[in-house]
A and B are shown apart, each in its own frame.
Chain A
């Protein structure tokens, strides 16, 4: 395996904050076009690891290669325009209308996004193009996160990284938006890395699941393998929760039938 073959490579990444080691030596390589879920409990280091990709966090040791280049050697502003970033807080700029929020990345690169392109991006996330003129505080939580996704896609990124993207949404919106993102991932030929604490979400959306515990990757399996009992104790502990819920729901359905 060479660095050039992967789009993203973590090479012995260690992140320390004072005495705390958030990421304790992660080596992992992500192939173009894959949809990877990074799963773990709070404090397992998954968000920190994700943020080393767009250099919001700099590793204490090791390096992160994006398309074969060390991200620490790249201009951070330019790097972040190539990496779509969606996170739980959404962070829409409250003083810009929706359209300007979506167009901000290209605008920073000196490119003015035409209204048709903004309408197209809104349509991609199933929002009315007329919404471009609305202010963020007029939108619902789900609509805001859809705009967040549209903003992340506006710069035609090669890589989409998402940090608990649907964590603050109700379960219906969450399922719909998850399915939408998975669909866009395929349609746009993206590589996606999604951090989540919800194993069910990871199993349903991703084609590769990395389980983190105490700053290390403890399992690296396909959803099918995890469901088949692979991946070790921590991973199986996480899989057990949705499995048991599913079994109980099935049992209830059986009784009703």
Chain B
């Protein structure tokens, strides 16, 4: 765990992005909340409506709120044109701003409501106009309470900003999500320590300002504000120094294989002289649309996923026909170029312990039919609802003694401990080799194929340099090589590797 101290210094650019995002969201929320609070203090109806809406937003989980802005912005492109970004800073800013509104608004409205009526009467009595009353009396007397609201909002926002990673905005969530997927706990901790540290620092600084306002100490108030401004300016400067022309952005979804392949692709592009950027840990749902809209340039997607989720097809025309249809559809509908298949599948498959399979004389799903009534089948939580299970069950007439749901990691443990005899595994999973499992053959072709495909966004679909650098990957990665790389990242012992190292090893293995 002491490598966390090696990781932290490398998080500078994530920290800068995190600060800029959080500060922008809080700043925008203040700009919106304060006039709303003034309006609300003049009208109880407005107060009820604004506070009600702000509370409603709080009931939406932050992760969902962030994800919801993607389709929203996508539909707004009809109005604002194709230039409107749908991923990254803009949706993250909008979602976090909404999230920060409530504490600021509520404190500002409460502060106004609790002002001494005698003081307000005096303000009118000495002849203040509405604006003078606001500026000279209401604002300064409410300021410490409003500042307390801004403090609460800041801590929430800095925490929630780690989730911006899932919609492609760099933040301190990047190491957290990457670490969670590859079970690199030092990386997770480093991200958490950095974001918690940032939240604490912001909380303390704003507390200094709040006390300064309450004590009416100008030195303390403006001193605190100056430090906050310096921090934000430093983050902006750091970010400005780091960014240049548009790089090639490579996506990865939230599992190890995707991190490894992203690194493999990135390394080849860098060797060809391209500047690349990674958007790790994206929600699976946003990746496809992000590539179609060129918000992201390269992703690895799977034929079965695209077939079911985007073509909305439930039939199974066979591996080649499925791939050809998808390739044509992507090009015609989205302008996305499917460069080719990497050579391996990450499909659903049924797996058993090798010795148990030998004992029962099972090598294929056909063999399984006879013994199935004595066996228990385990699957991930959604498996028994998926079309793959229904297709297999009906094609072979499989009837098991029982079905059980397990979290993916525990599914393999259940197989070892005998709580399940057969499980729904993923074909490229490293644990198939490590646990000495047998993947049962599917002679009837009931399970749809999940060929890994390299997808290029419309922006780079014609870029000959990119195509030349990535074409050698097509057909180069065997399922055995992919399993080995996945295991290297997923394993818990001393041989555990980072996705980058595993990608380098995979490149050698694939003869690249």
Contact = CB atoms under 8 A, between A and B. Distances in A.
Interface of A: 54, 56, 76-81, 85, 87, 89-95, 104-105, 108-109, 151
Contacts of A94: 116, 119, 141
A98 B120 CA distance: 17
Contacts of B118: 87, 89-91
B141 A95 contact: yes
Nearest to B120: A91
A90 B117 CA distance: 10
Contacts of A151: 126
B71 interface: no
Contacts of A56: 121, 124-125
A56 B124 CA distance: 7
B132 interface: yes
Nearest to A136: B119
Nearest to A86: B125
A147 to B, nearest CB: 11
B128 A108 contact: yes
Interface string B130-163: 0010001100110000000000000000000000
A89 B117 CA distance: 8
A109 B126 CA distance: 10
A93 B116 CA distance: 10
Q: Which 4 A-B pairs have the closest CB atoms?
A: A91-B122, A89-B118, A80-B127, A85-B125
A56 B119 CA distance: 14
Interface of B: 116-129, 132, 136-137, 140-141, 216
22 contacts: A56-B124, A77-B127, A77-B128, A78-B127, A79-B127, A80-B124, A80-B126, A87-B122, A87-B125, A89-B118, A91-B120, A91-B121, A92-B122, A93-B119, A93-B122, A93-B137, A94-B141, A95-B216, A104-B126, A105-B127, A108-B126, A151-B126
A199 B102 CA distance: 52
Residue among A94, A95, A105 with max Cβ neighbours from chain B (10 Å): A95
Contacts of B121: 56, 87, 89, 91
B126 A105 contact: yes
A109 B123 CA distance: 14
Contacts of A54: 125
Contacts of B125: 54, 56, 80, 85, 87, 91
A54 B121 CA distance: 12
A245 B140 CA distance: 48
Contacts of B141: 94-95
A95 B221 CA distance: 15
A104 B125 CA distance: 11
A95 B127 contact: no
A90 B125 CA distance: 10
Contacts of A104: 126, 136
B179 to A, nearest CB: 49
A226 B141 CA distance: 47
B140 to A, nearest CB: 5
B127 A108 contact: yes
A81 B120 CA distance: 16
Residue among A77, A79, A91, A108 with max Cβ neighbours from chain B (10 Å): A91
Contact of A108 (B117, B119, B120, B132): B132
B134 to A, nearest CB: 13
A95 B142 CA distance: 11
Contacts of B129: 77
A76 B124 CA distance: 9
